[in-house]
Structure 1
Amino acid sequence: MQDDVPELPDTERLFDEFPTGLLVTSVSGTILKVNATFCTWLGIERDELVGKKRLQELFTMGGRIFHQTHWLPTLQMQGSLSEVKLDVRHRDGHTIPMMLNAIRRATQGGSYDEISMVVAEERNKYERELLAARKRADELVAKEREVQATLQVTQARLREALRLGNLFLWDVDAATGLRRYEDDVARLLGYPTPRPVDDTLYAAAVEPADRDSERRAMDCAQSPTDEVSNCSYRLNGVDGVQRTVVSSGHGFFNADGTLAYFVGVLSDVTEATRERARAQDRALFAEQMVGIVSHDLRNPLSAILTGAKVLAHGETVPGKQRVLGHVTNSAQRAHRLIEELLDFTLARVGRGLAVSPARLDLHALVAGIVDELRLAFPERTIVHHAEGEGECTADSDRVAQLLGNLVGNAMAYGEPGSVITVESKLQAQTASLSVHNWGEPIAQDMQSALFEPMVRGDPGEGAGRSVGLGLFIVRAIALAHGGDVSVSSSRATGTTFSFHFPNAG
Structure 2
Amino acid sequence: MGACPPDDALYEHAACGLLLAGTDGLIRRANATICRWLGYEASQLVGQVRVQDLLTIGGRLFHQTHITPILQLQGSVAEVQVEMRHRDDTRIPLLINIVRRRHGDAAFDEFALLVADDRRAYERELLAARQAAEAALEARYGAEARLHALNEQLSLADRRKDEFIATLSHELRNPLAPMHSALEVMKLKSAGYAALEPVLPVFERQLNHMRHLVDDLMEISRITQGRMELRRAPLDLATVVRAVAADVAPLLDASGHTLTVSLPAEALVVDGDATRLTQVAVNLLTNAAKYTPRGGHIRLEAARQDGEAAISVRDNGIGIPERSLASIFDMFSQLEPALDRSQGGLGIGLALVKGIVTLHGGSARAFSEGVGLGSEFVVRLPLSAAAIVGETGAPGAGRIDALRVLVVDDNADAADTLAMALELLGCEARTVYTAAAGIAQLTAFAPQVALLDIGLPDMNGYDLARQVRALPGGAAVMLVAATGWGQSADKQLAIEAGFDHPT
State the TM-score, normalizing by the size of structure 2.
0.47
Structure showing greater relative contact order (alpha-carbon pairs closer than 8 Å, 6 or more residues apart): 2
Structure of larger gyration radius:
1
